[in-house]
Amino acid sequence: MKVTIFGTGYVGLVTGACLAEMGNHVVCVDIDDNKVGRLSRGEIPIFEPGLEPIVRRNHANGQLEFTTDAAQSIAHAQIIFIAVGTPPDEDGSADLQYVLSVARSIGQHLDRYAVIVNKSTVPVGTADRVREAVAAELSARGVEIDFDVASNPEFLKEGDAVEDCLRPDRIVMGSSSARAIALLRKLYAPFNRNHDRTVVMDVRSAELTKYAANAMLATKISFMNEIANIAERVGADVELVRQGIGSDPRIGYHFIYPGAGYGGSCFPKDVQALERTARTVGYDARLLGAVEAVNHDQKIKLFDFIQRYFNGDVRGRTIALWGLAFKPNTDDMREASSRRLIEALWEAGAKVRAFDPEAREETRRLYGERSDLVLCDSAYQTLDGADVLAIVTEWKAFRSPDFARIRAMLREPAIFDGRNLYEPSVVEEAGLAYYGIGRGRSV
């Protein structure tokens, strides 16, 4: 099938590559000509496991094209995906300027029936706004062309995006048009061979489904962080509590890890946007507000620990930091907990020596060259001249370090484990003080 995708970010590029892999002819269009230029030369602008070979292979055989030409891209396809960013507006609601700009552009160039599919995470009612924007442009051109707008929210996880896209848990399709659903079913048929993963619904329910999924996941994290904060104060170990509750199949072990807060481009903005949507329809979503507030405080926890460890004064101290990306297997730093920690440390007069397997380039892009930030080439290099060590991202490479070596290199023997990677007794046996999240002790 002929498919066009607006936006070549994490979602658009991965979706485009996976659809091309299934034999479709996909055109990916972006307004960022630097990104399009790099992709056309076979350079992948983001780190995502397994993505590079699929993009290269399908680009080389002509199944996957990259362009900035919206008009040609629109003429190409029966199915046009919108996968552009929906960042938070000043008031927390989703900023739809990019989505609506694509909609207008589609209206300006559409010359025959197509189904326009919203893959971006957008508030309930956005499909109607897209339809209106397309219709307004068609009417300004004085043409009548039939089209449908559908919602097909994306559930891929950064770090596992290719795998999630090739083997989705579910494929949500929201539309009242049988023609649109039939086209989407045909497109997704290769992803449904094992069993039908399609869930068809009205467009508003599909739009809300995405927010509900992310809000639920964020709630699980903030809930566990709340339990961790109680555990810390009552002398219990949240890691034992986690295993104790996870064994109940109604709760389960997934996604109940306490830590230094969630980040990324989705949970923070989507929880906020849903709360905002609720407010606009006269409902005060108290639970969502609390999820956000707990997360906000959680992100500053490691800093509070470190500052208390140094009796309230970290001036002149050097903190080694393992992990910068908001989670492992990505280079994405959007809303990363590391950023809150680093910025708080700088403000308090400390220096940072940091290592991340993938996010160093992105960190350099965000903060530039500064004397209070050294980006190291290895985890152990960060310890050179550092006072203490903080772990912010749970990369596999950090899971089983040489504690004796850490002990020998640090000026002060202490580890602040923002992801509860280590067993406190093992760390302590190596002569290091251990501070985790909710582990029955605090600084």
Active site residues: 266
Per CB under 6 A, the list member of 88, 98, 129, 236 interacting with ligand NAD is 98
Scanning 3-11, 126-134, 254-262, 304-312 for contacts with ligand NAD by CB under 6 A, the matching segment is 3-11
Per CB under 6 A, the list member of 7, 16, 174, 401 interacting with ligand NAD is 7
Q: Are strands 198-201 and 318-322 parallel, antiparallel or unpaired?
A: unpaired
Is 133 within 8 Å of 97 (Cβ atoms)?
Answer: no
Per CB under 6 A, the list member of 4, 175, 229, 265 interacting with ligand NAD is 265
Q: Closest CB to ligand NAD among 272 and 338? A: 272
Q: How far is the CB of 385 from ligand NAD (least distance, A)?
A: 36
**How many residues make contact with ligand NAD (CB under 6 A)?**
26
Residues 121-180 that bind ligand NAD (CB under 6 A): 121, 154, 156, 158
Scanning 5-13, 241-249, 373-381, 397-405 for contacts with ligand NAD by CB under 6 A, the matching segment is 5-13
Mark 246-279 as b/e (b = at least 16 C-beta within 10 Å): eeeeeeeeeebbbbbbbbbbbbbbbbbbbbbbbb
Regarding 218 and contact with ligand NAD (CB under 6 A), the answer is no
Q: Are strands 351-355 and 373-375 parallel, antiparallel or unpaired?
A: parallel
Residue with the CB atom nearest ligand NAD in the bound state:
9
Regarding 32 and contact with ligand NAD (CB under 6 A), the answer is yes
Is 376 within 8 Å of 354 (Cβ atoms)?
Answer: yes
Q: How far is the CB of 86 from ligand NAD (least distance, A)?
A: 4
Scanning 10-18, 140-148, 248-256, 419-427 for contacts with ligand NAD by CB under 6 A, the matching segment is 10-18
**Joined tokens for residue 110:** 């559409």
Scanning 28-36, 143-151, 244-252, 401-409 for contacts with ligand NAD by CB under 6 A, the matching segment is 28-36
Regarding 6 and contact with ligand NAD (CB under 6 A), the answer is yes
Regarding 83 and contact with ligand NAD (CB under 6 A), the answer is yes
Neighbours of 106 (CB within 10 A): 26
Place of tokens 């999820």: 291
Regarding 66 and contact with ligand NAD (CB under 6 A), the answer is no
**CB hemisphere CA count around 283 (13 angstroms):** 8
DSSP codes of every residue in 41-66: TT--SS--TTHHHHHHHHHHTTSEEE
Regarding 11 and contact with ligand NAD (CB under 6 A), the answer is yes
Give the separation between CA 437 and CA 305, rounded to whole angstroms: 10
Q: Closest CB to ligand NAD among 168 and 424? A: 168
Q: Closest CB to ligand NAD among 121 and 329? A: 121
Give the separation between CA 246 and CA 263, rounded to whole angstroms: 23
Give the separation between CA 214 and CA 190, rounded to whole angstroms: 26
CA 107 to chain centre: 30
Q: Closest CB to ligand NAD among 28 and 260? A: 28
Q: Closest CB to ligand NAD among 206 and 314? A: 206
Q: Closest CB to ligand NAD among 162 and 373? A: 162
Q: Closest CB to ligand NAD among 237 and 335? A: 335
CA 191 to chain centre: 23
Q: Cα angle at 125 between 119 and 128, to 5 degrees? A: 85
Output Rg (C-alpha) for the chain, integer angstroms. 24
Binding site for ligand NAD (CB under 6 A): 6-12, 29-32, 35, 83-86, 98, 101-102, 120-121, 154, 156, 158, 265-266
